[in-house]
Amino acid sequence: MTEHTASAASEASTAANAPVDSPSRKKIALLFLRDVVVIVAAALVISFLIKTFLIRSFYIPSESMQSTLLVNDRIIVNQLVPDVVPLERGDVVVFRDPGSWLTIPSSPPLAPLEAAGDWVFSLIGLSASDSDQHLIKRVIGMPGDRIVCCNDLGQLSVNGVPLDEKYVKLPADTTAVSGQDFITVVPEGTLWVMGDNRYDSSDSRFNGVVPIADVVGRAFVISWPLDRWQWIDSYPLVFNGVERAQ
CB 158 within 8 A of CB 141: yes
CA torsion through residues 115, 38, 53, 231, sign = negative
Catalytic residues: 64, 137
Which secondary structure element, helix H or strand E, spans residue 207, and what is its range?
Answer: helix 204-207
CB 220 within 8 A of CB 77: yes
Say which residues have a Cβ less than 8 Å from residue 144's Cβ, sequence separation at least 6.
185, 186, 188, 244, 245, 246
State the DSSP code for 74.
E
